[in-house]
Amino acid sequence: MSGKETSIVNEARSQEAGAKIDKWVYGGEGLARIDGRVALVPFVLPGEEVRIRMADQVHAKLVSITERAPERVEPPCPLFERCGGCQYQHAPYEFQVARKADILREQLRRVGKIDFAGDIHVVSGPPLGYRNRVQLHIEGARIGYLAAGSHDLVPVEGECPISSPGVNQALAEMRERLKSPKFPRFVHSLEIFTNENDVQINILESERHVARAFFDWCGSVAELDYATAFGNFRVGPRPFFQVNRFLIERLVETALGEAEGDSALDLYAGVGLFALPMASRFREVTAVEAGTSAARDLEFNASRAGVQLRTEHSRVEDYLARLSIAPDFVLADPPRVGLGKQVVGELLRLRPPRIVIVSCDPATLARDLAALTGYVVERLTLVDLFPQTFHMETVAKLRNRL
């Protein structure tokens, strides 16, 4: 090794530091402290002794593990640590779920100043093979996921362990199509969505319009019919639908519980996953959805199911502003940004007796719960829709105590 090379190696080693991982934090990293500074380290377990190199003021790169935690396991995917999709494959599934509950409690306390003293209930399913929908990127004849925090493609040449058999089959077929001159090279990312029988291909990024012939070539259906215990749901190319094929019914059951009565609202209703079963429990149900495609599917699904359901194609805040009488029950399944000030303000004006929030982000949930003054959190349930990742779904049941 030359003198210059030795100098570079020595400089790199001088930037390394030893650390002990204290805990996992929301976002998928472990927290360590070096000389009083916080360092967030990926792919570690609490209690592990590691060597790290700081990448910026807070985030660090894992150099080596000097003392492994006894819980550490071999990841089921050879792309783990390269692909940006999973953060927890090096931990047993029961360990993942328990730490997620800890993280949820901490987020409520840190962001919302909420000390929830009750138990956090957990609903979980199989930790692999659960995803019915994936988003993939394309470079030339390669298809895969992006590496964490970058635009570098990590090709998927085999199966994705967290994806369903139907997704993996469709992915394998797409890899073969990429070898054909018929494949449109101006397509840079796409989505695969399946009910395990039919496949829907959605173009996410393309330099120009993709002809219908491409979708026919892929065997893609324009509208996927997804069967559940609560009926069938038509899902077009744009609307959202839950991605964990094992926990769709249990999520709905957890959110609704024993709820029933005269009137109910389903806010951010999507294609009607909650609204349709609510219609059998309440005399009047109104489902509010702003997205045009989702609202169209919602109306179709309600009509096909033959349920009494009023649909409102409107922004949630606009619809609530027009109400003068509170419903008996409100269910809200907002996007990742949460309810926000306007919706919270309208709910506080109306003061429905019971509110259920289905949240995909514990930080925005904590913010919304803190703002809903006069409501008490009766029950929290962590529904682990995203095993092997830091993402979590929370069902918060609230009661008006004023």
DSSP string, 296-337: HHHHHHHHHHT---EEEES-HHHHHHT--S--SEEEE---TT
DSSP-assigned letter for residue 26: T
Burial class (CB in 10 A: 0-12, 13-18, 19+), 223: middle
Nearest to 400 by CA among 362, 359, 372: 372
Q: Nearest 5°: CA angle at 111, between 384 and 35?
A: 100
Indicate the SS3 state at residue 146: strand
Nearest to 163 by CA among 82, 231, 221, 76: 76
* H or E element at residue 56: none
300: amino acid identity, one letter: F
Cβ pair 229, 276 in contact under 8 A: no
CA–CA gap between residue 372 and residue 341 (Å, rounded):
10
122: amino acid identity, one letter: V
Distance, first Cα to last Cα, the chain: 75
Q: Residue 22 has which token pair?
A: 């204290």
- What are the catalytic residues? 360
